[in-house]
Every structure is written in C-alpha cells, then in structure tokens.
Amino acid sequence: MSLQLNNVTAGYTKVPVITDIIFDVNPGEICGLIGLNGAGKSTTIKTIIGQLTPFSGRVEVEKLS
C-alpha cells in the first residue's frame, strides 16, 4: 500500500488546522507522526482515513494487489 498527501489543507468548520501538507509513504516504509499538542496529528490522520474532507489538495491511498 502507498500513501500520498499532495498540498493537503484540512481542518474543522472552515478553519485550517493543517496547511499544504506534502508527504509520501511507499510500500514497505513505516511512518510515524510526532508533534506537540495541537500540531495537527489527529487532523492529518482523520483526513487520511476520510473522516475529514480536505479543503484543498489530494489524499491518495493505493492498495497493491
């Protein structure tokens, strides 16, 4: 499975919490999110799993068969 976030901005009620996030996680890689309280870790995860819709940008999860 691969994961790509391309210029993702997301948040709650039109208030951005994360802005222009860009990263890739390729098959076989392990990724961790670390940061201070309020840094946007939960918002990033919720956006990746589809619980939040990004204001802009694109989240791609590609499942390899």
Q: So where are the chain's domains?
A: 2-62
Tell me if 7 sits within 8 A of 24, measured CB to CB: no
pLDDT at 7: 98
Q: What is the mean pLDDT of each run of 10 residues along the chain (65 residues)?
A: 96 95 95 96 97 97 81
CATH 3.40.50.300 fits 2-62, yes or no: yes
pLDDT at 20: 98
pLDDT at 58: 98
